[in-house]
Structure 1
């Protein structure tokens, strides 16, 4: 009998080890119980403190502790793959309850339209479901590669591996987590420093610049960026260019998985040269993607069609036809569907590179555009709620798939094991989503009647009621869209520099910019020092140890910050 805590074993070519199932009785029971915990944590914190913590590390740690119990079949939870399924579900339930469900339905409630809560909840459930489905379809494509940063995913994977392997890795991760937790106690955004050790250097450099500009522009330059719609305009310009770049990736028929000339995937045709031998043995190959350009294109088009269907259902059940004519209703449906897809992609790209969800800020952009277009109050509220339901779950599933991708790299043959594991993670996420929906259905009314609503929803409603006080808002956004578009264009799709610059301007977290730039400087200096020392010792690959150490430090800082966020629930109870 194999050790359940051991990594995926090798196998003969064509004989893949079966991946643990998300619906196995023990795994399912643990998943459901922790999903309830995650949904409650997300619901309580988003309606009191306005935050939605990443609970994946909590789920992984609890699964590890359960696996140490020698009772019945609980020891099966020592398997890192089962721990990964559990952490996928609890993080999914947290973000689903907090961001994708409660926040959207709070908008019509605060607007004085409680009769629209249920139609909005139905639309939010559709947005959540399509969000996760699209990411499942397009993860590890050229647009959203598994080799991307996905910082929270690295943190979850390194936590699971450290608990399984112990030794120096566990000590370094644990020490970094303690530093992250203590720094967070002093109100320092330690997750910002953590992602700087994990992500694309150029993207994070622009993120840090945006954070610093947002922090000091009001005091040094005496300019209110938000009042002049600077962050919104930069994001619009960068977002439009990012969408064009995404379309080009979809149309690029050379962007196939596995490098096959006909666009086939890895199982269909192996690449030529040195990779052919690796494929014959079924080994992991880092430069081979599991999703090719045609599947990316189909996934995004399917997402758009499903989002449009959801918009039609919201329009019918929400009764907005009375506020808009026939042409206006068609325009609203088209705008809502496109906004949902665009929102998900921008939030997902920003999260992949920086670990931050600019969901509130991007939703606010669509709200402002709706005001500029003169959309009536109720249809605009439903549009905002529908857009807000997408994005966070999309990014969270990406984090979880990244964690699974890292944990499954040692399996042979790799590709069938990776695809089976990703499928089981998706099923575990659906279990978490189902639990979150049930919790929200039960809890939203007593929470709202007690005055406990997400603060961001109140901002949306206040903005809708106030309208645009500046008649030049559109002009200002168009003006500032130009530099955002230029930065995104010259940075290229792989760096997303424009989107990350805009994210920093919109997030505007104090001191986060300094932490990002300081961590990048440490990362650069440590890598150079390690490289010189390794060359002196005639090492074959001088960057491996440096990269591994920095990844552990970054993962620990993110994990410690997440633990601090979850611990804040005592303030809300």
Structure 2
């Protein structure tokens, strides 16, 4: 028995179990609900639904029913397990399963849907285990921002304790909901209160450049490198992310190469981190081999190209996961679709055939969303369990969250397997799948490789200058890739208010801002979820 299993076995009785009948039943019921809602909103509106707080709220309501049957839900740790379950099912069904298998359908290859489904389901499970093992390491510290996780934890704590904390959270929820109703991206505003300042400034600048790119770059001076000021057509954001991502990968490798065995947080050592990344890399390579076999790629590629494809697909899946995870940890936004598109474009430049490109982009798109979402849930649990004050209890609780997520993923796999054909046969596929399909059909010109290489250089420089803790290049590139009106102004306004708050409230500022920020993010998420659900089912 490993040290982690021994620790968990000693302390598991102190933490509510995901497999306890009451928790298990509610996790399964809410996971079915979350999976269906997530798929419906994705195919109708093209966005991911954040149902984490819905699960917590349901548990809070049931906890107040004066019956012994619901007494277990009064525990904030049970509420954390339940919100982890519905959140995992929602992101798993929509982003990790339905979206990837829609790509071959959009390209007229329905024969590849079920083989891809098997591969992306495996990738989703590996994704979740990876973040479970990497959470609280130097790469993904438990003390990182993980903004939606803070929002979930603050909501659960406020519901449990009430008092001033509940009042501050309530103010934040109202501000977040009203701002979201007015069309302001309030999650970006709230994140600026609690995230690393340098990372947020770079994220905000990237968002502003994206919003005003046409006005900034449409002049004669930029005509040769950014025609008509269209940074997407010139592959500027994609090149920046390639450069920043490669440097981030080198920074991770430098961390891995250090021969010490210090503890990254309260529970994970450097050797744990190295072992996890090594095993994860092998797992992704094996999934790439599996997909190449079941999708028949061996019939369309030479042995050398097939080996190259497997290596590139496994490498791209791991890098995609790390980039999405870093962006999610620092900003609460993860450009999963855009990074998958980068993987696709590079694959097209290499010269892989159509079937290989379909497998490549679907596999890449499946890694990352589950990683980011579970990172949020683990951060919420970390806060609720006392921020690592009791390492044994923390490990036991984290293990129960993994079990809750795996139950939810099993539900998501079942729901998608039963429902995908009814969606696709009615031409209901995620909108981004049509973008991937159009990109594959349209091909790429020789100039694209030059553009990517040219813009990768400044991306690498920014990432290198910011260092591994700030991830400035990743966040700047994320801002360039995220097309959300006013998000840049929301981030910079949040930073300005943060400075003023710190001057006025001094030592109390950080704890107050964390609660209010959690409320703002929660209010934005709740309004967005309600609005998206209403629009989806009304249509």
Instruction: Bin the TM-score by the shorter chain.
Output: over 0.9
Match of 2:534 in 1: 570
After superposition, residues 76-475 of structure 1 pair within 5 angstroms as 76-222=72-218, 223-254=229-260, 256-257=262-263, 288-409=265-386, 414-468=390-444, 470-475=445-450
Contact kept in structure 2, 1:17 and 1:417, CA below 8 Å: no
The CA distance in 2 between the partners of 1:502 and 1:514, in whole Å, is 17
The CA distance in 1 between the partners of 2:29 and 2:317, in whole Å, is 31
The CA distance in 1 between the partners of 2:214 and 2:353, in whole Å, is 33
Match of 1:55 in 2: 51
Match of 1:491 in 2: 466
Match of 1:560 in 2: 523
The CA distance in 1 between the partners of 2:449 and 2:235, in whole Å, is 9
Q: Structure 2: 5+ residue runs without aligned partners?
A: 1-9, 219-228
1:477 matched to 2:448: no
Deviations 1:146-171 (A, max 9, x none): 01000010000000000000111112
Q: Secondary structure at the match of 2:468?
A: coil
Q: CA deviation at 1:19?
A: 0.8
Question: Taking structure 2 as the reference length, what is the TM-score of the superposition?
Answer: 0.94
Contact kept in structure 1, 2:382 and 2:388, CA below 8 Å: no
Q: Secondary structure at the match of 1:494?
A: helix
Larger displacement relative to structure 2 (101-110 or 14-23) = 14-23
Contact kept in structure 1, 2:31 and 2:86, CA below 8 Å: yes
Match of 2:509 in 1: 546
Contact kept in structure 1, 2:177 and 2:527, CA below 8 Å: yes
Match of 1:19 in 2: 15
Q: Structure 1: 5+ residue runs without aligned partners?
A: 1-13, 259-287, 532-541
The CA distance in 2 between the partners of 1:124 and 1:144, in whole Å, is 23
The CA distance in 2 between the partners of 1:218 and 1:569, in whole Å, is 33
Match of 1:511 in 2: 486
The CA distance in 2 between the partners of 1:210 and 1:35, in whole Å, is 35
How many equivalent pairs are there? 517
Match of 1:522 in 2: 497
The CA distance in 1 between the partners of 2:212 and 2:45, in whole Å, is 25
Q: Secondary structure at the match of 1:402?
A: helix
Contact kept in structure 1, 2:266 and 2:391, CA below 8 Å: no
Deviations 1:364-398 (A, max 9, x none): 10111011111111110111000000001001111
Q: Secondary structure at the match of 2:322?
A: helix
Contact kept in structure 1, 2:27 and 2:86, CA below 8 Å: yes
Contact kept in structure 2, 1:42 and 1:95, CA below 8 Å: yes
What CA RMSD, in Å, does the superposition of the two structures yield over aligned residues?
A: 1.3
Q: Secondary structure at the match of 1:73?
A: helix
Q: CA deviation at 1:422?
A: 0.3
The CA distance in 2 between the partners of 1:484 and 1:206, in whole Å, is 12
Q: Secondary structure at the match of 1:493?
A: helix
- Indicate the structure with greater helix content: 2
- Classify 1:190/1:15 alpha carbon distance in 2 versus 1 (closer, same or farther; 3 Å): closer
Deviations 1:184-236 (A, max 9, x none): 12221111111111211110110000000011111232211111111011000
After superposition, residues 68-83 of structure 1 pair within 5 angstroms as 68-83=64-79
The CA distance in 1 between the partners of 2:437 and 2:407, in whole Å, is 32
Q: CA deviation at 1:72?
A: 3.5
- Classify 1:295/1:462 alpha carbon distance in 2 versus 1 (closer, same or farther; 3 Å): same
